Amino acid sequence: MRLAELSERSGVSTATIKYYLREGLLAPGRQINARTAEYDEDHLRRLRLVRAMIQIGRLPVATVREVLGHVDDDSLPRTIRMGAAMWALPQVAEPDEEDEHVRSAHEAADQLLESLGWSNAQALVSISPAYRSLVVAMAALRRIGIDWDAQLLVAYARLMHQAAVLDLDFLERHPSEAEKVETAVLGAILVDPMLQSLHRLAQEEESARRYGFGDQQ
């Protein structure tokens, strides 16, 4: 397809596509002559990913370039490649390790992973942003006097594992390694908010089922 068709099918203006090409976010098309290039379905797929990261995820171009670098790094095994791409997305700040609540949250998070038998996750705690986010959230709860029930956390974690199985089953439908990693990145930007919304809707549904809509006490 030519640039005009790529623009029409993607919904991205030709000027924006040219900008992405200049910034290295989109691979050059196959040159037909000095003024014309031809693009394919891979360009369309990548363009949709870039558009999601920039326009929906509000990521700066430098971050998008870093994420794409990991997406395209076929020297890495799939787990590391996917992790590197996901970890390049914006993450929470490093917690204050001198904070007593952070220290106790670390202990609780480690005990949680151990009780779940998540040995692979345990091996990554020193570098995983997800583990860091868990510790930050648990520390914040403890700081305001809420010590979340450990057994409840285990139940939630097991539900999340079921979601992770569905996630990776969906990734397996895509033929190439790059497409699998791209889908994981899109999931972080688009699917995570969708799942959070479903969680809220489920809470509303269950609340109405239990308590109704009236002023009952």
Domain ranges of the chain: 3-87, 100-211
pLDDT in tens, 116-169: 999 999 998 988 999 999 999 999 999 999 888 889 999 999 999 999 999 999
Closest by CA position to 111, among listed 143, 147, 140, 83: 147
Angle at 133 between CA 169 and CA 156, to 5 degrees: 55
CA atoms of 51 and 26, how far apart (whole Å): 11
Q: Does residue 102 contact residue 96 with C-beta atoms inside 8 Å? A: yes
pLDDT in tens, 32-82: 887 889 999 999 999 999 999 998 889 999 999 999 999 999 898 888 899
* The token pair that represents 117 in the structure block: 């038998």
> Which class does domain 3-87 fall in?
mainly alpha
pTM of the full predicted structure?
0.81
CA atoms of 83 and 128, how far apart (whole Å): 8
Q: Does residue 53 contact residue 70 with C-beta atoms inside 8 Å? A: no
